[in-house]
Structure 1
Amino acid sequence: MSYYPIFAILIPIIFAIVIYLINDPRSNLLAFIAQGALLVVGLRYFSLYLPEGEYYLVLGAFGDKLNITLISNTLTYGYGLLSVLLWFSVILYSWPHQKQSSSYYFFLLFLQGVFMGIVHAHDFFNLFLFIEIATILSGILIIYKKDGPSLRAGIYYIVFNTAGILLFLIGLSMLYRMTGTLHMGLVQDALSGMEQDATMIMIFVLMCVSMGVKSAFFPVYNWLPRAHSVSTSSISAVLSGIMVKSGVLGLYKIQQVFPMEAYKDFFILLGMITALCGLFFGISQTNIKRLLAFSTISHIGFIVMGLSSLEVPTSEGVSGALVHIVNHGFLKILLFLGAGSIVRSYKTYDLEKIRGVLHRMPLVGAVMLFGILSIMGTPLLLGYQGKALVGMILRDQPLFYLGYHFINLGTLILFGRLLQILLPRGSRKPLTVSIYDRLSLGLLTAGILFLNLYQLMVPGFGGLRFYEAPLSPEAWLFFLLYLLVAYLFIRQSPITASFFEKVREYELSFQAANYMMVAFIFIMLLWSEVFNLF
């Protein structure tokens, strides 16, 4: 069972291949069995090996410098269980619409295996390989609707992300030439004894920009709202809730290897700008899926702020940013699947035409209300924990701490607009909701409640007792203040205002997006020069 990383990667891939080869609608049930197998293996590993801490699985007979290395620890195990629950929910949700399509489950399960490869990879070549495969599979799933908008968005996604990952490959070749290995631990040891010259900085910049493209950092974010708004709701949920985090995890691995203290404040600032940019565009949206897509950009920026301000997680707890990756994954999948049910029933994406969800679709409305309040960062609910820790870390840096508060305020304004769809207006005639929708949303909600209670009751997560922190007067005071300002803003700024219309119409061309990528590289290189001056 010490081969858990291999099982986590290969089980979904093998089941995907079997489903594709059999090519019979009945064989698609194997997708559920695959999740059960992953869960059994994960629980078995938890009971036998997890208490022992971190360990490595080395494959190959080429020496330490060239072997494939997979890492397994509390973090990778957590993402493994996250993937099981989320993929199971997505498979269940999409079952009535895709149960005849073996190719759909082939790509979906294969993507799960590749994601587990990204999580467990401990050498840069295999990290590159898994991310590139994930890009191709994600692009195929975006195109899966086979209509004009999804085809254009899928091609845009594949081409732009491939251009980004090529930067990683260039950095990879330079890194191998410099250190003679791509094993993350050995690279870290080698770089720690070297002077930070121009070559090392260039390698770091190329690899970080590549991960920035993958996770839609500012200014290379434009592919995300395009792709997530036109794909099916189940695929949008997987992309936004899980796959977009692969670049963040890649960035986290890079930051732990390279001794680049000069870029700590840069990434906090970049995360803050990314978060505010996502909120600025998200608040202006009338399309429910585009609003959720831009909110993902905002949360990615927030996570980057946390990752760049914290030290390496210890055995006593994990950073707020890594906690928020998990929490956001659960909540965003819940909201995308709930939005899919609403769109299917109301037959529109327009937020102004969707009202009375709590009355017409009580279960979906209640789930959406819970998800919205959680992702807003309401104290005691799931979205609060990671945000609280990141805020405490940034407290000693006034500029970033001010940005943190603006991000929290913007989040309440954005999701305050989404809350309006729950309010009654016009018809209150009940709308039907598929049993599969109810089961998948119920399962996700149960998982979120369990995780919520776990994080509140366990005195971990960075050494903080989160069952005490949400009860502090300061936490509630700030939240209520955000709520009041958000309410006044929404009341005084109708979504139909001409300013918001202009923001909605703004769209970067593919050419402009590539210019932004080049500018991103030059800005990072310039930052290093400016830092050295001071």
Structure 2
Amino acid sequence: MLYWLVIIPIIIAVINIGFIHSDSRKLIVGSQIGITLYTTYLFFNVRSQGTIINNMAGYPRAFSITLYADRISIVLVWLTTLLFLGLLIYAYSGDYFDSQFGFLYLTLQALIIALFLSTDLFNIYVLLEVSTVVVAILIMLRKDRQAVYDGMIFLFISVIASSFWLFGVGFLYRTFGHLDLHAISEVITEVENPRSLILPFAFIMTTISLKIALFPLSSWLPKAYGTPSAPPVIPAILSGVYETTGLYLFIRLTAMFSQVIELNTFFLVIGFVTSIVGFTLAVAQNDLRLLLAYSTISQVGLMTVGFSFGAEASYWGAMYHMFAHSLFKTVLFLSVGVLSHHYKTRDIHKIRGVMKTLPVTGFAIIFGLLGITGAPLFNGSISKYMISYGSDSPYIQLLLNLINLGTLLYSMKFAAMLFGKNTQPDDIKGQDTRHDVPQWTTLTFGVLTLISGLFGNRLLQFLYGYDFTIYPGEYLEKSFIYLLLVLAAFALYKGWVKERDLFSKIGYIELSFNAMITALVAFFIGIVGYMYWLT
């Protein structure tokens, strides 16, 4: 049953590139609609009847290829199919939508779905490696010099990081004799010496930490997301869906090891540092894609904080923020694609008057920014409200407010494009954009950020089966704090951030390839040293 979610996109991808020599876009869109409907059926099946487990050939779970769909994984698979369908509609008229793009697009979808459903750690390694190659090719699709450089950096650093995963898997196989993460969870407490699990945990978590771009392992992400020639749907896929696979693995693996190894404090600190560094570098960017790339790093740090508090409400708040982030970040990346097409630039200072010239995209941007900043009634406000439940410490609350202040700062810098005199090139001015499908697709995602906020509590229960009571008094208090942060951010933006040269030097800080590898090794040593110190 679950295997069709992986097999069908692969079959369509092969038919697309191998047997159809004319335009195959209708076939691809049709297959996406079918996959989305089938995933919807499976979601309601899991919701009503419980977890679905498919063991290949009927072998026991620990010794067969197993696909596992519970309330967490099936929601992410459903979200993946919905986003891929929406992005396909956005890209339908793009000149880059050829048979090669269709093949890579469908293959990546199958790999991402398999990552959410697979429970075998070696199979996950294979899926990570193949998806890395596919993403690298998508980044290099236009074959220009910068795209090839960025794609190769992403490929090499990801492959080296994945070798850490392989070492960790080897240690676990020697200890348990199998690699199914659920089967390991059932017997992991029987290990006589828990310290023997330190090395495999450190190896695996180093790979995951790089994949989700935790500090200081985040320098690859702006290169991958910010490639100038990459089609606009590529960074939207990477931020909205591909990044979520790393967070999903973070959830699963920390849960598996948590019975013998608990590093919530470590990742709590790393999460806060990642988020603060991310928004600082985002504010410093003039390139729209790079601003959103560093914004993704900041949001990942916030979700890591939510998962590391150890509180139930914060955990599900971070889970809902994954869902919300996929929506509002997709809106913003697709908006950048529209703007760069109509304004012929991605320089944030050269784009003005969007609300007058492209009002549909302008409203989509407003929805996306209100979502990412956690404005009342939008999805980010629900998830951030829940994450803040993780601690009563005033210092923690101060840090969370600092993160939101930073988010407001780069959002205001982004929003400055909406107003002012039209800066479109003369050959673009006056074009009729009322029936522009990419714009309306972007706005649709924007509206979803509002709907998933207005009905956030019900949607949380519908998706994950988790009931959370939002108290009006506390929500109003959070809304008042948000308004104060908006005023503070506006004052900071007008006083300092608006000056282009203020963060110019910070904006160009990035690690070389050798420095990235050094940071990777140092991160691994840091985890190992910290765990041995604790024990």
Which TM bucket (shorter chain)? over 0.9
SS of residue paired to 1:174: helix
Q: Indicate how the Cα distance of structure 1 residues 209 and 347 shifts in structure 2: closer, same or farther if over 3 A, else same.
A: same
Task: Name the residue aligned to 1:531.
Answer: 534
Deviation at 1:311? 6.0
1:160-179 Cα distance to aligned partner (Å, 9 max, x none): 01111110011001100011
Letter in 2 for 1:153: D
Distance in 2 (CA, whole Å) between partners of 1:340 and 1:145 is 15
Q: Indicate how the Cα distance of structure 1 residues 391 and 431 shifts in structure 2: closer, same or farther if over 3 A, else same.
A: farther
Deviation at 1:470? 8.4
CA contact (8 A) 2:364 2:446 kept: yes
Deviation at 1:469? 4.7
Task: Name the residue aligned to 2:491.
Answer: 488
SS of residue paired to 2:53: strand
Distance in 2 (CA, whole Å) between partners of 1:286 and 1:445 is 23
Task: Name the residue aligned to 1:170.
Answer: 167
1:13 is the counterpart of 2:10: yes
Task: Name the residue aligned to 2:66.
Answer: 69
Task: Name the residue aligned to 1:252.
Answer: 251
Deviation at 1:210? 0.2
Task: Name the residue aligned to 2:51.
Answer: 54
Q: Indicate how the Cα distance of structure 1 residues 100 and 507 shifts in structure 2: closer, same or farther if over 3 A, else same.
A: closer
Letter in 2 for 1:297: I
SS of residue paired to 1:26: coil
SS of residue paired to 1:286: coil
Distance in 2 (CA, whole Å) between partners of 1:191 and 1:86 is 36
SS of residue paired to 1:56: strand
Residue in structure 1 matching 2:521, options 518, 526, 532: 518
Residue in structure 2 matching 1:33, options 30, 35, 39: 30
CA contact (8 A) 1:85 1:444 kept: no
Task: Name the residue aligned to 2:504.
Answer: 501
Task: Name the residue aligned to 1:241.
Answer: 240
Task: Name the residue aligned to 2:436.
Answer: 435
Q: Indicate how the Cα distance of structure 1 residues 485 and 17 shifts in structure 2: closer, same or farther if over 3 A, else same.
A: same
CA contact (8 A) 2:164 2:206 kept: yes
SS of residue paired to 1:70: strand
1:412 is the counterpart of 2:415: no
Distance in 2 (CA, whole Å) between partners of 1:216 and 1:420 is 28
1:296 is the counterpart of 2:296: yes
Task: Name the residue aligned to 1:401.
Answer: 397
Deviation at 1:505? 2.0
1:181-214 Cα distance to aligned partner (Å, 9 max, x none): 1111221122112245443011001100101111
Task: Count how many residue pairs are aligned between Structure 1 and Structure 2.
Answer: 524
Distance in 2 (CA, whole Å) between partners of 1:79 and 1:92 is 20
Deviation at 1:42? 2.1
Distance in 1 (CA, whole Å) between partners of 2:218 and 2:96 is 33
Deviation at 1:58? 1.1
Residue in structure 2 matching 1:421, options 387, 407, 417: 417
Deviation at 1:43? 2.9
Distance in 2 (CA, whole Å) between partners of 1:494 and 1:188 is 49
Equivalent residues in 2 for 1:203-352, closer than 5 Å: 203-230=200-227, 231-258=230-257, 259-310=259-310, 319-352=316-349
CA contact (8 A) 2:67 2:117 kept: yes
Q: Indicate how the Cα distance of structure 1 residues 311 and 193 shifts in structure 2: closer, same or farther if over 3 A, else same.
A: farther
Q: Indicate how the Cα distance of structure 1 residues 445 and 525 shifts in structure 2: closer, same or farther if over 3 A, else same.
A: same
Fraction of identical pairs, as percent: 25
1:436-458 Cα distance to aligned partner (Å, 9 max, x none): 21342243234444433432445
CA contact (8 A) 1:361 1:430 kept: no
Deviation at 1:6? 1.1
Letter in 2 for 1:269: V
CA contact (8 A) 2:222 2:293 kept: yes
CA contact (8 A) 2:210 2:218 kept: yes
SS of residue paired to 1:319: helix
Distance in 1 (CA, whole Å) between partners of 2:206 and 2:382 is 29
Deviation at 1:256? 1.1
Deviates more, 1:33-42 or 1:412-421: 33-42
Q: Indicate how the Cα distance of structure 1 residues 108 and 458 shifts in structure 2: closer, same or farther if over 3 A, else same.
A: closer
1:377 is the counterpart of 2:374: yes
1:92-119 Cα distance to aligned partner (Å, 9 max, x none): 2222224761010110011011111111
Unaligned runs of 5+ in 2: none
Distance in 2 (CA, whole Å) between partners of 1:432 and 1:179 is 64
1:83 is the counterpart of 2:80: yes
Distance in 2 (CA, whole Å) between partners of 1:487 and 1:195 is 57
Deviation at 1:380? 1.1
Task: Name the residue aligned to 1:138.
Answer: 135
Letter in 2 for 1:233: P
Normalising by structure 1, report the TM-score. 0.93
Deviation at 1:260? 4.6
Deviates more, 1:397-406 or 1:355-364: 397-406
Q: Indicate how the Cα distance of structure 1 residues 213 and 333 shifts in structure 2: closer, same or farther if over 3 A, else same.
A: same
1:465 is the counterpart of 2:469: yes
Deviates more, 1:277-286 or 1:11-20: 11-20
Residue in structure 2 matching 1:367, options 364, 368, 372: 364
Residue in structure 2 matching 1:182, options 179, 183, 204: 179
Q: Indicate how the Cα distance of structure 1 residues 503 and 431 shifts in structure 2: closer, same or farther if over 3 A, else same.
A: farther
Deviation at 1:55? 2.9
Deviation at 1:222? 0.6
Q: Indicate how the Cα distance of structure 1 residues 269 and 14 shifts in structure 2: closer, same or farther if over 3 A, else same.
A: same
